[in-house]
Amino acid sequence: MRLPALALAALTCACATAGEAEAWAKVSPEAVARYAAPGDPARYAALAQSLEAPPEELGPPARGLRIPVRSFPDGRPEVLLHAETAWVSADMMRLRGRGVRVEAFDAEGALAETLWAEEAAVDRTAMLAVAKGPIRLERGGDTLTGVGALADLEAQYVKVLRRARIDTARLRGVDMTKRGIF
């Protein structure tokens, strides 16, 4: 069973490392192993480094880019990326964008979640993304905000790097810090 990206992000925000997570008595070691950052964090390094290069070095930008990241078997987009300004590799598999919005759709075609980022780099082959600056993820009545993020688009995993905040309509004002969750 896959948890929604927001639930995975919540667990990740609570525990910066697997060692910290194991020390966190409320989470079983099995859950830590299953929901810790998928794969080696080093796999995000090249994307993060690509965000450091000045955009002028990338050539002329495209405006109003809209490109599918992943599609359902019938060809409908499952994950769709929009960017106000974008620089795209020749093979269209890597991109860097500003004013980025990533939309995920359910099997019926309804919008399931949306991720906004000030600036991001996406590798469509590896299904990875790195964002810098403010980010916002909305799913149903839940909102995750923060600064900077790593995302595994295949696993539907988002890790907020700094100043993570989760607002959820389902808990109706419950302070999660006082309940020992964060």
The model's pLDDT over 100-128, given as tens digits with 9 standing for 90+, comes to: 999 999 999 999 999 999 999 999 888 88
How far is the first Cα of the chain from the last one, in angstroms, to the nearest whole number? 24
CB 150 within 8 A of CB 44: yes
**Nearest-angstrom CA–CA distance, 101 and 72:** 19
Output 62 or 14, whichever has higher pLDDT: 62
Q: Which class in CATH covers the domain with range 5-168?
A: mainly beta
- Parse the chain into domains and list their residue ranges: 5-168
| Single pTM value for the model | 0.69
Backbone φ and ψ of 55, nearest 5°: -60, -30
The percent of residues above 90 in pLDDT, for the chain, comes to: 31
Average pLDDT (30-43) is 58
CA distance 71 to 5: 18
Tell me what pLDDT residue 117 has.
Answer: 95
**pLDDT-based confidence at residue 29 (cuts at 50, 70, 90):** low
Chain mean pLDDT for the chain: 76
Tell me the residue length of the chain.
182
Quickly count: other Cβ atoms within 10 Å of residue 37's Cβ.
17
d(CA 155, CA 26): 23
- What is the token pair recorded at 150? 């790593």
What's the 3-state SS for the chain? Answer: CCCCHHHHHHHHHHCCCHHHHHHCCCCCHHHHHHHCCCCCHHHHHHHHHHCCCCHHHHCCCEEEEEEEEEECCCCCEEEEEEEEEEEECCCCCEEEEEEEEEEEECCCCCEEEEEEEEEEEEECCCCEEEEEEEEEEEECCEEEEEEEEEEECCCCEEEEEEEEEEEECCCCCCCCCCCCCC
